[in-house]
Amino acid sequence: MARAIAFDAYGTLFDVHSVRALCEEMFPGKGAALSQLWRLKQLEYTWLRSLMGRYEDFWAVTRDALVYALKNQGVTPVEADLDRLMGEYLRLSPHAEAAEALKRLKEMGIRLSIASNGSPAMLDAVVSNARFDTLLEAVISVDPVRVFKPHDAAYKIVTDTLGLPANEILFVSSNGFDVAGASHYGFESVWIQRSTGQMEELGVQPRHAIRFLTDIPALLA
């Protein structure tokens, strides 16, 4: 049975679409489109930069993606707006059940960590804002290996940091591509499907598929 869990951050513990409200306030009628496109391009740019060997950290990539989204919606990106919207990434709301899930797992004696594309500064801010710091043993960023998920190196840093083989670690993500990458690397993968999830067709299936983070303890029983 797995004694350690690595959680993806963005989309899994934290709701990336909690930026929608500010997008809508600043650009009425465009909040949903901006939020969707911002996230889509953020992911695409992590993949494309990794493939081209042009790594920039997640903060820079997220800002570039925001610039694309604003232009696409007919908004000229200006520094003040970019700074204000990027600030939301430092205080993303945790998903509703995240705190309860982490607390219960911690009480069970499971070693808990985050394994994320985020830069260390971004992760520190969002983790501390959610008061998750005392629940987590490690907050692991891909930044030292300068390549994003689902490249193997972005998962190897997790096994190296935790000092455990991949098959003794539960890797939890709501992002289909991340679950695929984690499964490919050898983790015992858990896909958080929530209500809208559709698994990617990448020839790898998650070991477990559940609706909520609070369904994890039952997997460990």
Catalogue the active-site residues.
8
In the numeric block, which tokens belong to residue 7? 């959680």
Contact present, 113 and 3 (Cβ < 8 Å): no
34 binds a copy of itself (CB under 8 A): no
76 binds a copy of itself (CB under 8 A): no
Selected binder of a copy of itself within 26, 33, 67, 145 (CB under 8 A): 67
Please, which residue, 124 or 152, has the CB nearer to a copy of itself? Answer: 152
118 binds a copy of itself (CB under 8 A): no
Q: What is the DSSP annotation of 163-221?
A: TS-GGGEEEEES-HHHHHHHHHHT-EEEEE-TTT-----SS---SEEES-GGGHHHHH-
Contact present, 163 and 137 (Cβ < 8 Å): no
Least distance in Å: CB of 91 to a copy of itself? 24
74 binds a copy of itself (CB under 8 A): no
Kindly list the residues in this chain that would bind a copy of itself in the complex (CB under 8 A).
41, 44-45, 47-54, 56, 64-65, 67-68, 71-72, 148, 150-152, 177, 180-181, 184, 198, 200-204
